[in-house]
Amino acid sequence: MRQLSLKGGGEFTSAAYTSGLVSSQANRIRRTISMRILLADDHGMVRETISAYLTTEGRAAVVAVSDYFEAMKALEQKGTFDLVLLDFSMPGMNGLQGLTDALAKYPEQPIAIVSGTAPNKVAQEALDAGAIGFLPKTMGAKSLVNAVRFMIAGESFVPPSVMAGGEAAEETAFTKQFSQREKEVLTGLCKGHSNKEIARDLDLQEVTIKLHVRTLCKKLNAKNRTQAALIAKEAGFE
């Protein structure tokens, strides 16, 4: 099993997918029209969003559960999946111990780790422990689907930017109250971007951005998006 990377260490994007990969391999992956995936994540919005990406963009059949124990029950009752995606920090996972235990019980099952908070070094540790890949929750819909297809095709995948990146800066008390996606949306607000622009940058639907903005305003006790951005800037958020 070899790890795929993109020239120049760039992000895994749909453009790179169509232009930078060996054509025969890309054609093989494009022919994948149906995938059976088990997704385990305790964050409801993240779980629903990723499930929607894989269902609509990847035409996948997704079984979504909220913790590690439900994931193991699904594996026991529903058999082998094309791919299992386990959240690194969900209940019952215990970091990479959950991955190790799952692979010991189901050695033929391809399993990848999904995370929005784990340090970059966890990606390599996950591969060393037997994971077929590591997916940051910051990936856009098309990038996520392409990465999933690579892993189902038998290739391991970690974004080059994750493997090459250093340790993430320690979070402040202010940033800890937000999910990774909320921080990305808040960054857009601080830059003065519209919902449409933020949606385009994050490869999301505009209605999804509106929901995140509403949540951010509630968490920041802000009356509107402009006040939310001002509060964030005063707190040192960039």
Q: Residue 133: beta bridge partners?
A: 112, 157
Asked if 186 contacts 236 with a C-beta cutoff of 8 angstroms, the reply is no
Q: Rounded to an integer, what distance in angstroms lies between the CA atom of residue 167 and that of residue 120?
A: 6
The per-residue pLDDT for range 36-73, each reduced to its tens digit, is: 999 999 888 888 889 998 998 888 999 999 999 999 99
Domains of the chain (ranges; CATH) run 3-164 (3.40.50.2300), 175-231 (1.10.10.10)
The per-residue pLDDT for range 119-133, each reduced to its tens digit, is: 778 888 999 999 999
Query: Considering the entire predicted model, what is its pTM?
Result: 0.58
